[in-house]
Structure 1
Amino acid sequence: MHIRYCAFEQHADEMLAIFNDAILNTTALYEYEPRTMDVMAQWFESKEHGDYPVIGAFDQAGRLMGFASFGKFREQPAFQFTVEHSIYVSREHRGKGVAVELMKTLIVLAAHQGYRSLIGAIDLENIASLRLHQKFGFEEVGIIKHAGYKFERWLDLAFYQLVLDT
């Protein structure tokens, strides 16, 4: 497995498939409808505009196994040193250490760019993500009960924070 930057032209199709699988089959994203390629184009444009990395984990054949990014946490200027990250791994590569490698890289990139905090917003049913964040020293800093409604049930959202040594 190797980590490298992703580009819209080369990786958007594979990324869209991973996003849409998460939307349709998990509580990792509190969305109902699959994303479109237009949404992906806007997503990439916002990452580029904000100087936010989009990285992917690739297998030996060059296939995307998962991807990660971070972006603006809140709009107000005082939040400029805090970013919210996300990691998505394709169904067939979950449990193989892909998220670990992506998280390692995100932490290094965020610190290198001078950010002070990384925030993860995680559905409480997503035990794998909760454990991943705990493994890297993220602390639970709050839970919003009944934050979302999906699959005919209320979902609780946990916020996890890693304060970076910058």
Structure 2
Amino acid sequence: MPIFLRDACSFDLPTITAIYREAVLNGVASYEIAPPEQGEMAARFSAITGQGYPYIAAIDEGGSLLGYAYASAFRTRPAYRWMVEDSIYLGPEARGRGIGTLLLTELIRRCTDLGFRQMVAVIGGAHPASIALHQALGFEETGRLKGTGYKHGRWLDTMIMQRPLGDGSASDPDTSTYPGTLFKA
């Protein structure tokens, strides 16, 4: 079954909220304990897209949203402006079908095109499938924070992975422009 990628839109928020809800309640990718309601997810969506970061939806041929991915600021201090953090969430029916690879590949392409130089993955629960996905797309482990979250009755580690975009740190960025809108005056 073909999968199509497109910009996520406000129409997608009920399904995005449901996918994230399932991940919060049953998974370790997010360290949130109580899933946010749709209004909060809408505010987060608006904050991310309003700053010029990509937010992508994966859709099947019947029009169902199967998963989503977005980039956002790793940190908000200006020197970090060339680095983004990726987030990917899939509905249970979409896992293990290569949809995460499609979403992350497109997210990397879009962030590179926007001029970002580094992408970081902060992988809650050091989840093996997420680590494998990121490794397959050129991310390297840059650190492990032990016992950083307590969820589902156990302590969880957080894996930090990083990948250069474009020239990465091999050359200076064009400081006359900033990627996204986060740091524009």
Normalised to the residue count of structure 2, the TM-score between the two structures is 0.87
* CA distance in structure 2 between the partners assigned to 1:131 and 1:149 by the alignment: 23
Residue identity over aligned pairs, in percent, reads 37
The alignment status of 1:32 with 2:33, answered yes or no, reads: yes
Write 1 or 2 for the structure with the bigger share of helix: 1
Does the aligned pair in 2 maintain the 1:66–1:89 contact within 8 Å?
A: yes
* CA distance in structure 2 between the partners assigned to 1:82 and 1:30 by the alignment: 22
How much is the aligned-residue C-alpha RMSD, in angstroms? 0.9
Does the aligned pair in 1 maintain the 2:120–2:161 contact within 8 Å?
A: yes
* CA distance in structure 2 between the partners assigned to 1:125 and 1:52 by the alignment: 25
The alignment status of 1:122 with 2:117, answered yes or no, reads: no
Q: Secondary structure at the match of 2:61?
A: coil
Aligned to 2:179: none
Per-residue displacement from partner, 1:68-115 (whole Å, max 9, x unpaired)?
A: 001010111000000001011100110001001001100100100000
* CA distance in structure 1 between the partners assigned to 2:73 and 2:104 by the alignment: 17
Q: Which has the larger radius of gyration?
A: 2
Please identify runs of 4+ aligned residues in structure 1 that moved more than 6 A. none
Aligned to 2:177: none
Q: Any stretches of 5+ residues in structure 1 without a counterpart? A: none
Q: Any stretches of 5+ residues in structure 2 without a counterpart? A: 168-185
* CA distance in structure 2 between the partners assigned to 1:104 and 1:75 by the alignment: 24
Aligned to 2:178: none
Q: Secondary structure at the match of 1:147?
A: strand
State how 1:1-166 maps to structure 2 within 5 Å: 1-8=3-10, 10-166=11-167
